[in-house]
Chains A and B, each alone.
Chain A
C-alpha cells in the first residue's frame, strides 16, 4: 500500500545529488514503496531543497533493519564527538 505517512523536518547542510552539491533545506522520511530497492516497502529518506526543484534530491531506500542501524549509528557518532567540536 501507499502509506502517505511522511515526516518532514528542516535541516541545515549540504547534499550531493545527480547535478552535484546543493544546499539541503528539508528532509522527508516515510515508509512506502521504493523505486529501486527490491522490496514492497522501504524506509525512504530524501534530502531536498524544494526551492531548487524536485531534482535537487538525494534519496535513500533502506530496509527497516538498515534504517534503524543507520539512525543509531548517527546518534552514536554524534555522542562520541569530542567536547567543544559540536557546532549548531
Chain B
C-alpha cells in the first residue's frame, strides 16, 4: 500500500434521480480494493469529515461521503446547510438510505473495486450506519456512538430502529465511550442483547475515559489515545470484511 490517493468533489445521480454532491477519495492501487461510504455527523459535510474520507483512501480503500444536505441547500456552506437541516428535523430515513445505496453503487462501479462496500457513521451517522446496514446489502458496518438506535424520545423527530435490526445484512462494529449518555452504556447493552437475540455478527468496544464524539479531532470531546485504538479496530474489521486478503 502506497498511501497515495486522489480526492475530489463529485456529483452523481442518487436513487431518486436527483444529483447529489459527494467527496470522493480513491486509493492508488493496482489491486482490487474495498469501498467505504462515510456518513457525516449532524453538523454537516465539513472539513473534519472530509479528512476522514481521505484517511480511508490513505489506508487502502476507496471512500465517499455524500453531502446529505445538498438537496435542500446546494449552494450553502456546511454550517448554514446543517442549520437548515436542523430546522427541518434532519434528513428523512428513506432519503438517507437512498443516498447511501447510490454511494455504494458508485463505489462498486470504480475500476479498482472488489465489489465489497462498508459503511461508517459518526454521531447521528452512527444510527444512520446501522439503518443503512439494515436496509441495504452491505459487507460491513461501523456505528460510532450513534444515539436513537434502540431509544426514542417523544420530544424528538428521531425514532429507534429496533424493529429493523433483524434485517442487519452484515457484520457490525460498534465503538462507544462509557461516559456517553446518548447512547448510554445501558442502551449499548440493550443493542448487544437484541443483536445476540437475532443471531447477528457484531463486535462492540466501549472505551473508558471517552464520551460522545471521541473521534472528532476539532472538538473538545476528542480523545486521541482512544481514537487511535478505535481506528485500529476499524482497520482490523474492514481488513477482515472488505479486503480480498484474509
Contacts and interface: CB of A to CB of B under 8 A. Distances in A.
B77 A6 contact: no
B72 interface: yes
A55 B86 CA distance: 14
A4 B157 contact: yes
A2 interface: yes
Contacts of A54: 72-73, 76, 80-81, 83-84
Contacts of B73: 53-55
Given A2-B124, A4-B157, A57 B212 contact: no
Given A40-B211, A40-B221, A53-B73, A33 B123 contact: yes
Contacts of B182: 1
Contacts of A8: 87
Given A35-B79, A59-B83, A5 B124 contact: no
A4 B213 contact: no
Interface in A7-49: 8, 26, 28, 30, 32-36, 38-40, 44, 46, 48
Contact of B43 (A3, A5, A28, A35): A35
Given A2-B147, A39-B220, A55-B77, A28 B83 contact: yes
A84 to B, nearest CB: 36
Contacts of A4: 86, 89-90, 153, 156-158
Contact of B75 (A5, A6, A34, A55): A55
Interface string B88-124: 0110000000000000000000000000000000011
A49 to B, nearest CB: 11
Nearest to B85: A54
Contact of B83 (A36, A38, A46): A46
Contacts of B23: none
B196 interface: no
A30 B124 CA distance: 16
Interface in B157-185: 157-158, 180-183
A33 B41 CA distance: 10
B155 A48 contact: no
Interface string A54-79: 11010100000000000000000000
Interface of A: 1-6, 8, 26, 28, 30, 32-36, 38-40, 44, 46, 48, 50, 53-55, 57, 59
18 contacts: A1-B212, A2-B41, A2-B124, A2-B147, A4-B153, A6-B89, A28-B87, A32-B42, A33-B41, A33-B213, A34-B43, A35-B43, A35-B44, A36-B79, A38-B220, A46-B83, A53-B73, A54-B73
Given A28-B87, A33-B43, A48-B87, 16 more contacts: A1-B180, A1-B183, A6-B87, A6-B89, A33-B42, A35-B79, A36-B79, A40-B211, A40-B212, A46-B87, A50-B84, A54-B84, A55-B75, A57-B80, A57-B83, A57-B84
- State the 9 A-B residue pairs at the shortest beta-carbon distance, nearest first: A1-B182, A54-B76, A54-B73, A54-B84, A2-B42, A1-B147, A4-B156, A54-B80, A2-B124
